[in-house]
A and B are shown apart, each in its own frame.
Chain A
């Protein structure tokens, strides 16, 4: 009898295994890839604390900015919203939001409360067309009550929404941009948040500092400086808050670039009179030369995906052009064929290069310097900026969807950002002259 029961049990297992089949998605192109129509009503204040009102304003403004600049949402204008903004899921009336005038597909809502020394934020993301199980996301945050923390919480909630609805896109709301600013009469390395707020100086060398490059772990900045007499690489530790030791190689040393694992630096050095690309480890030891052609070789960047290729600028055939090679110096290929091409930056997915290009260079040519994007596999390119001025020094955001660059279109050199298709161009800095931006790795 035991055997019989065990056989019946086995059969039942077989049947249930057959029954639990795979879930299928059947979909395709040609159905429209319009952006997600997202409504973000202002969060509600639930506490009676007087401190809550300014924090709530900071929070609401930051959340709106982050989602608006993510490039994947079509934010519903606030004038279309119903008068009663929901603060909790109980207040949420799905049909009001899904039907006109808002006609939203998604709604992000929640509340903010200040209790004692802490600020608490509850946030939800609802799929309003789905009446049965609308909740996509529910989050609660608690930090010490301050304006910075209200911004931080808004950034984190925005990143969470972007990660969900963007299909695994890492949000950039907490990333930083490093740049060179001359607003204190000296060119120093400065830093700011990705939206241009919180601008502050990093170095105070009272000299000329150029081309800051943040390490992949965000702990150090390598840059070029005139502070030690010659033109040398220097290293600044953000953990220690000071310049740390880095060897001098002789000659003019320019444009450091971190390998994606953070163990190596590529840079250009003229220690043998002709500027060539060299690689050292992150402490400055193990110097290795990788190019050996006549003519200057400068501005190396690593392929962030593989760490096995380097793109750089070479003047071996006259005007500067963009080249690609393996990190050991083999298999060099030229990828631009005309004009004046400088400042390459490699996209985080390894697929694209952006660079600054004067396509028609020389007397009688228009000579506009613009940012271009090239698909490396097919060598096809797209022009991203058209608005005049000098556009140079592009750098990719860690999400691979945004680019920061410097432009002189507003009359002075300032830092701008845009989406990687050239839309949503926006000026971040206004004071003094600000150049050579570098977006952090995360």
Chain B
């Protein structure tokens, strides 16, 4: 009888769900297209100081690119003070025969040794301790290849000029806060933490977030300079800072991200 009809015979129609699925996919695709075309302009603004010469990056066309000389001074790798891998063989001094008698005239007269006057004040002088890193590579004996001419500090006349962010209308609004961040990080960067043998290094990039209350969080090394002690000193500069002061009261966001570079020159 039809009263106990099996539920497996009551097939659902596939048409409805399939239509919904098609509509959903079309809407998703349309939304992404609309975002990239129409609303893509709403992305976050750059902050920057409102000083002269702003603009995120400017490229000038020149006929020839005058590459600056390598900032790393390479010494002659063939004639340096390194002892190398070979070991010199000790030369044996032959003892004189047992019956040899020295000629008295040939014997040099021993010169009277002059007494060196000893200083009366011989207290030890406490000198500044010099860090001796164990893993640094000295110059002239290998190390990273010097490249990235466009980004080395002061090489702005050819190739690229890389200025302090700036540009967006948002940046010009809180230029004073950007100055605060720059000053505070620079004050807390102790350059003597960098290996004293390093004369010049590539730019090191560190990114971090500033919370509403002004604390730096999420500090990470974005791009290494190739000198471990410089990377470490840059991150330590951020770790020393407790607060940059609260974000401007009329700023609506909950945090600000910062990309900070460190140029090192001895």
Question: Inside 8 A of B192's CB, which chain A residues have their CB?
Answer: 378, 380
| CB of A382 to closest CB in B, whole Å | 10
| Chain A proximity mask over B7-41: 1 for CB below 8 Å, otherwise 0 | 00000000000001001100110010011000100
Q: By DSSP majority rule, is chain B's interface helix, strand, loop, or mixed? A: mixed
How many chain A residues touch B (CB < 8 A): the figure is 57
Question: Inside 8 A of A166's CB, which chain B residues have their CB?
Answer: 180, 245
Which residue from B123, B129, B182, B186 sits with its C-beta under 8 Å from A360?
A: B123
CB-contacts of A1-42 with B (<8 A):
3-4, 7-8, 11-12, 14-16, 18-31, 33, 36
Which residue from B43, B189, B256 sits with its C-beta under 8 Å from A29?
A: B189
Question: Inside 8 A of A57's CB, which chain B residues have their CB?
Answer: none
Question: Inside 8 A of A362's CB, which chain B residues have their CB?
Answer: 121, 123
Q: Does B187 contact A (CB under 8 A)?
A: yes
How many chain B residues touch A (CB < 8 A): the figure is 73
Docked pose: A33 CA to B185 CA in angstroms: 10
Are B173 and A337 in contact (CB-based, < 8 A)? no
Q: Does B178 contact A (CB under 8 A)?
A: yes
Are A24 and B31 in contact (CB-based, < 8 A)? no
| CB of B266 to closest CB in A, whole Å | 13
Q: Does A387 contact B (CB under 8 A)?
A: no
Are A130 and B173 in contact (CB-based, < 8 A)? yes
Are B34 and A25 in contact (CB-based, < 8 A)? no
Are A380 and B128 in contact (CB-based, < 8 A)? yes
| CB of B186 to closest CB in A, whole Å | 4
Are B245 and A163 in contact (CB-based, < 8 A)? yes
With A127-B176, A167-B184, A338-B124 as contacts: A378 and B50 at CB distance below 8 Å: no
Are A168 and B123 in contact (CB-based, < 8 A)? no
CB-contacts of A96-137 with B (<8 A):
105-106, 127, 129-130, 132-133, 136
21 pairs from A and B in contact (CB 8 Å cutoff): A12-B31, A15-B34, A22-B255, A24-B44, A24-B256, A25-B178, A25-B259, A26-B47, A27-B259, A28-B182, A30-B153, A33-B182, A127-B176, A130-B172, A130-B176, A165-B180, A166-B180, A167-B180, A168-B242, A337-B124, A360-B121
List 18 extra interface pairs beyond A379-B129, A380-B129, CB under 8 A. A15-B34, A20-B42, A20-B44, A21-B44, A22-B253, A26-B259, A27-B49, A28-B182, A29-B182, A29-B185, A30-B263, A31-B164, A33-B182, A167-B183, A168-B244, A338-B124, A349-B242, A381-B128
